[in-house]
Amino acid sequence: MTGSDAAHRADDLAARQAELVAALVAGGPLPPGFAPAPLAAARAALLRKRAGEVARHWPLLAAALGAEWPARFSAWAADRPTRGSLRDGWDFARALRDEGALPPLGAEELAVREAGARYDGHRPPRPRRLPAWGRVRGAVAVQLAGRVRLLRPAPRASLDTAGRDR
């Protein structure tokens, strides 16, 4: 085997691995030579793992969604490559806010995050240096001297039959 053959094989292997990773974590098409069922099972397992990692960074949002958390997050994340647990949770919370589906606990957690850090959706969040505030669905948080305080919690709607906020 010559050096160019080895380089070609390495490039081919790298391309096939990239296709497999895209299919598993970014909603890419099924690569040739892979059975759909095992790939779907691995993809579902990776989405559940990702939901668990995001829940560790966004515990109030996950708790507010309760048993719906894994399914709702996985549906949202299915076609999005991960950008890290903190950023994935931030983007998911903003998406729920934009849909009008963000529960009060999630609104409070998002308001605290917005007050404490600058995040434009593209670059990693950066701590704020100047006084700032975050307001999401009625929840208000302020950041002064590096400390974030929730000044006003989000209004609670009436509870549904399962005892959760609507």
Beta bridge mates, 79: none
For residue 7, being part of any structural domain is answered with no
For residue 157, being part of any structural domain is answered with no
| pLDDT of res. 156 | 86
pTM: 0.80
How far, in Å, CA of 131 to CA of 146, rounded?
8
| pLDDT of res. 5 | 72
For residue 49, being part of any structural domain is answered with yes
| pLDDT of res. 1 | 56
| pLDDT of res. 127 | 94
For residue 139, being part of any structural domain is answered with yes
| pLDDT of res. 68 | 97
Average confidence (pLDDT) over 131-147: 93
For residue 69, being part of any structural domain is answered with yes
Neighbours of 13 (CB within 10 A): 10
Average confidence (pLDDT) over 64-68: 97
CA atoms within 13 A on the CB side of 44: 7
Whether the CB-CB separation of 117 and 126 falls below 8 Å is answered with: yes
pLDDT per residue as tens digits for the range 78-117: 989 899 999 999 999 999 999 999 999 999 999 999 999 9
Return the ∠ at Cα 135 (arms to 134 and 140), rounded to 5°.
85
How far, in Å, CA of 134 to CA of 110, rounded?
8
For residue 31, being part of any structural domain is answered with no
**What is the rounded end-to-end Cα distance, in angstroms, of the chain?**
65
DSSP 45-96: HHHHHHHHHHHHH-HHHHHHHGGGHHHHHHHHHTTS----HHHHHHHHHHHH
For residue 15, being part of any structural domain is answered with no
pLDDT per residue as tens digits for the range 11-63: 788 888 888 888 888 778 888 888 889 888 998 999 999 999 999 999 999 99
For residue 19, being part of any structural domain is answered with no
Q: Specify the pairing of strand 126-127 against strand 147-152.
A: unpaired
| pLDDT of res. 162 | 54
Which one has a higher pLDDT value, 117 or 5? 117
Give the range of the structural domain holding residue 144, as residue numbers without chain letter.
Answer: 36-152
The Cα-based distances of 34 to 8, 21, 81 in angstroms read: 22, 12, 20
| pLDDT of res. 119 | 97
Number of domains, the chain: 1
* Residue 9 banded pLDDT, cuts 50, 70, 90: confident
